[in-house]
Structure 1
């Protein structure tokens, strides 16, 4: 039974992942509802349903547009697989519970953030506002303990990041600040701290490796949103275990 549910959520994640790609690419350009059909970004030709099957269409077409033979970004199938794997993993971690709903909402948000930030270096306010409303509704039904914990987490995410932005004179962006505030609201202060620590650690190591290898220059900006997302996913799945390990090992 668990295998069937996990498999179903994997397929569901693939399908929704295709839609999340569209949202992440179109919302920053204010195009989400202007075009009714998906189209090739190179030749602008409308795509048929068989060209939009998650992952499979990319493989069958060898990563090229059927019309103009232009390259299709590998970001599309990678992110579709991301949502498929993450949806399935959420069920394996949380089971059939209300926590599963929270995890799926966050993974959906994270998918859109990764696509948007990697493509445009923008975390859209409209996306954050939409998911804030959903997460606010969720927390109204299933509050943290104590009930004010989401407010403390949200405030800490925004205020803490704002201080970093001021101190570093733009080392992080306003979108990062709002995203961390939303994560703090959804998960609480403790998991927010885990998220920020892991995001900073992974971001520093990755940026250092890219600089050392010459793949990016010192003046080339690197989006921080995907690192926040990665830190938040680890916190979502293993945050409390990491906190317990840290406290028992060092205190």
Structure 2
């Protein structure tokens, strides 16, 4: 039965992942998420139901528009599949408990801001603030242990990123700062610190690889949001094991 529910949640994640792609690409530029309907950005043909089946349509169409043959951006099927995996993973980790619904909200936020940061190097307040507010309320009903760790974690995350932004004179965006407040609410103080460490490490390695591959200069701006999201997922699912492993080394 658990596998059946996990598959259902996976399918649920595919559908919502498709919607999160739209939200992440349209909201930052002030476009409606409902109008115009989904269409090819090259030939402007309105997509049919057969073109909009998450992941499967991309595979059937071989990654190209049915009409004009223009390549479909890889981010669409990738984020659909990732969202499905995250939702199914959250179910397998937490079951149908209140924490599962916190997880779905949190993971949804991370997916949307990843899409928007990749596309525009922007974490939109119109996404971050409403979901952050709901997570704040949710943590009152589904608290960490101790309950106040959410508030402390949020304040620590916000303060650290603000300090980094001030020291680096704008090297950290306002969206990243507010995002870490939300991360603190969900993960608590220790989880927030571990997320910052992992995000910095992963981001540094990925940045070096990107600069070497693209031959860009060191001052080329690189989105940090995706690496924050990846680190947050790692800590949310495996943070306690990582901290236990670290403590075991000493």
User: Equivalences for 1:96-245 in 2 at 5 Å?
Assistant: 96-245=96-245
Superposed CA offset, 1:180-201 (max 9, x none): 1110012211110111111011
Q: Distance in 1 between matches of 2:37 and 2:14?
A: 18
CA deviation vs aligned residue, 1:133-179 (integer Å, no higher than 9, x gap): 22122112112233322221111111110100111122211111111
Measured in 2, the distance between the counterparts of 1:215 and 1:56 equals: 35
Cα distance in structure 2, aligned partners of 1:128 and 1:8: 27
Q: How far has the Cα of 1:65 moved from its partner?
A: 1.4
The TM-score, its normalising length taken from structure 1, stands at 0.95
Unaligned runs of 5+ in 2: none
State the distance in 2 between where 1:74 and 1:172 align: 27
**Do residues 50 (structure 1) and 57 (structure 2) align?**
no
For residues 37-91 of structure 1, give each alpha carbon's deviation from its aligned partner in whole angstroms, at most 9, with x where no partner exists: 1121222222111111101111111211122222110110000000111111112
| Maintained 8 Å contact 2:23/2:33 | no
SS at match of 1:213: helix
Name 2:78's counterpart in structure 1.
78
Contact 1:22 1:32 in 2 (8 A): no
TM-score, normalised relative to structure 2: 0.95
- Find the residue that maps to 2:31 and give its secondary structure: coil
- Deviation by residue 1:16-46 (Cα, 9 ceiling, x = unmatched): 0000000000000111246141121222222
Task: Report the equivalent of 1:247.
Answer: 247
Q: In 2, are the aligned partners of 1:150 and 1:188 still within 8 Å (CA)?
A: yes
Paired with 1:142 and 1:34, the residues of 2 have a C-alpha distance of 32
- Asked if the contact 1:132–1:182 (Cα under 8 Å) also holds between the matched residues in 2, the reply is yes
> Contact 2:91/2:100 (CA < 8 Å) preserved in 1?
yes
The 2-side partners of 1:37 and 1:214 are apart by: 34
Name the SS for the 2:220 alignment partner. Answer: coil
Whether 2:112 is the aligned partner of 1:90: answer: no
Unaligned regions of 5+ residues in structure 1, if any? none
The CA RMSD measured in Å over matched residues stands at 1.4
Please name the residue that 1:7 is paired with.
7
Q: Distance in 2 between matches of 1:34 and 1:57?
A: 20
Between the two proteins, the alignment pairs up a number of residues equal to 250
Contact 2:38 2:46 in 1 (8 A): yes
